């Protein structure tokens, strides 16, 4: 390789490091294009015919963005090769988002770039850029360990409870364990998990995998370190994420059960314990795994709206979940509380919240609202479907959930393009936007005269 070419390569690498959002987007775009190419191959379809490029693209984006929305039945349309490609894309997407998000936390934790200083700490005050290898290994080991444990339980259940051969049980167990931990929501059954709705030996492992992946690697890492160092205090990030995440889980289960308890097309005919299992399952899945154990087209409009809220909030930062993240939601709640009380600053759990963090949370949330509303308006204008269904679909795509009322495959190509854009924005947007806002922060050289417009 010539010296000018080496210099140009180095220059471009440095440019990418200076703009991490661009590097993240390019990495996911490359994985999507590769997945699209593989899924268009005749060997990837069950019929042996080549899949049209757009169907392959939609499926690849949904898999890489760990969403789960589909325009064709996963088990019916794709061959074993195609399903393995999808599984690989899910794994790459999950690894990628956890790793890249964790490294971006390192990069922006003190609002400095790599070019300015080569030692930064994460929110836990324990991670430095010199530990990048540990972060990468930690993400990989955590992911594979959780997936393996969940797969063992699922394999045992599929083999003993559903008369599957050992090979089929292993394949189905591994596929759904990977899909659940990465919050992808892809299932090898046309009705998702409906046939297992009352089976706790299937639903509970899937819920545990979803929660573990959705909490985020920084929280999992800190919990693991706390077990070794019992005297160490939790970081503010962990102290916010855990109670808010599980608080929303309990709230979601209670509201879901209240809305659907007597619905004759969903929970009505079932026993009490089965209802409770389904209620908690459907509180976990919108956070954002996307499996469903009842037909979402049959739920009440109030339940759809509840799911819209849970999907939009999502899970923990630097995890496999989507949405604006529970920390963003919680921070905005504390900001509102401080304003209502008339307090000049925001205090959270013994810490003062920086003004720039408040602005970043507000920006991420409002841009998320804008993306969902824009997608909903476009879909309403080009399809005959109800607002309830269209809003649910747009929110599911942006929050990378994958739940649907069944209209995804019925949308025109233009509508499916809208979902592709929302999936890509929702997967990369909150992470890259937050890091870009932090990295671009700079001191203002002067201030203009203050004036207060009327609010409200």
Closest to 112 (Cα-Cα) out of 122, 102, 97, 124? 122
In this structure, the number of other CB atoms found within 10 A of the CB of residue 162 comes to: 14
DSSP 396-443: HHHTT----SS-GGGS-HHHHHHHHHHHHHHHHHHHHHHHHHHHT---
d(C-alpha 294, C-alpha 422), whole Å: 25
CB contact set of 107 (below 8 Å; sequence gap of 6+)? 20, 113, 114, 120, 129, 435, 439
Q: Kindly list the domain boundaries of the chain, sorted by start residue.
A: 15-438
DSSP state, residue 315: -
Taking only the tens of pLDDT, the chain with its 456 residues reads 566 666 666 565 555 555 556 667 778 888 999 999 999 999 999 999 999 999 999 999 999 999 999 999 999 999 999 999 999 999 988 887 777 666 666 555 544 333 333 333 333 333 444 556 677 777 888 889 999 999 999 999 999 999 899 999 999 999 999 999 999 989 999 999 999 999 999 999 999 999 999 998 888 888 887 655 555 678 888 999 999 999 999 999 999 999 999 999 999 999 999 999 999 999 999 988 889 999 999 999 999 999 999 999 999 887 788 899 999 999 999 999 999 999 989 999 888 888 878 888 888 899 899 999 999 999 999 999 999 999 999 999 999 999 999 999 999 999 999 999 999 888 877 666 666 555 555 666 777 787 778 777
Name the 3-class secondary structure at 387: helix
The tokens describing 69, both together, are 């929305």
Closest CA to 183 of 400, 369, 10: 400
């Amino acid at each position: 390789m010539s010296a000018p070419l080496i210099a140009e390569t180095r220059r471009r690498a440095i440019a990418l490091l200076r703009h991490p959002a661009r590097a993240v987007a390019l990495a996911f775009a490359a994985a999507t294009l590769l997945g699209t190419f593989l899924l268009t191959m005749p060997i990837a379809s069950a019929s042996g015919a080549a899949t049209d490029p757009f169907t392959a693209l939609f499926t690849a984006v949904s898999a890489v963005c760990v969403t789960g929305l589909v325009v064709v039945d996963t088990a019916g349309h794709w061959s074993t090769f195609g399903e393995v490609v999808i599984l690989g894309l899910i794994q790459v997407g999950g690894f990628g988002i956890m790793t890249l998000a964790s490294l971006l936390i390192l990069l922006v934790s003190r609002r400095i770039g790599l070019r300015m200083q080569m030692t930064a700490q994460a929110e836990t005050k324990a991670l430095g850029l010199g530990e990048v290898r540990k972060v990468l290994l930690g993400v990989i080991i955590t992911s594979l360990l959780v997936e393996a444990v969940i797969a063992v339980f699922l394999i045992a259940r599929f083999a003993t409870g559903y008369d599957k051969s050992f090979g089929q049980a292993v394949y189905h167990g591994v596929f759904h364990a990977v899909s659940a931990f990465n919050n992808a929501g892809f299932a090898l059954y046309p009705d998702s998990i409906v046939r297992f709705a009352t089976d706790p030996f299937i639903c509970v492992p899937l819920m545990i995998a979803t929660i573990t992946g959705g909490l985020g690697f920084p929280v999992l890492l800190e919990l693991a370190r706390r077990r070794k160092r019992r005297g160490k205090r939790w970081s503010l990030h962990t102290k916010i994420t855990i109670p808010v995440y599980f608080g929303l889980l309990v709230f979601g289960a209670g509201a879901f059960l209240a809305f659907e308890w007597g619905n004759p097309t969903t929970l009505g005919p079932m026993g009490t314990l089965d209802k409770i299992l389904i209620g908690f399952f459907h509180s976990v899945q919108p956070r954002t795994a996307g499996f469903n154990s009842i037909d979402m087209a049959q739920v009440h409009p109030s339940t759809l709206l509840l799911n819209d809220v849970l999907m939009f909030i999502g899970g923990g930062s630097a995890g496999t979940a989507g949405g604006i993240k529970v920390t963003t939601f919680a921070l905005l709640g504390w900001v509102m509380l401080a304003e209502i009380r008339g307090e000049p600053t925001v205090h959270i759990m013994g810490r003062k919240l920086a003004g720039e963090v408040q602005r970043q949370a507000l920006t991420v949330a409002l841009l998320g609202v804008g993306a969902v509303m824009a997608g909903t308006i476009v879909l309403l204008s080009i399809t005959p479907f109800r607002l309830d269904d269209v809003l649910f679909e747009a929110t599911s795509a942006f929050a990378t959930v994958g739940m649907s009322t069944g209209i995804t495959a019925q949308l025109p190509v233009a509508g499916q393009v809208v979902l592709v854009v929302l999936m890509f924005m929702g997967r990369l947007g909150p992470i890259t936007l937050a890091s870009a806002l932090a990295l671009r922060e700079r001191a203002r050289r002067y201030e203009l005269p203050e004036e207060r417009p009327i609010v409200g």
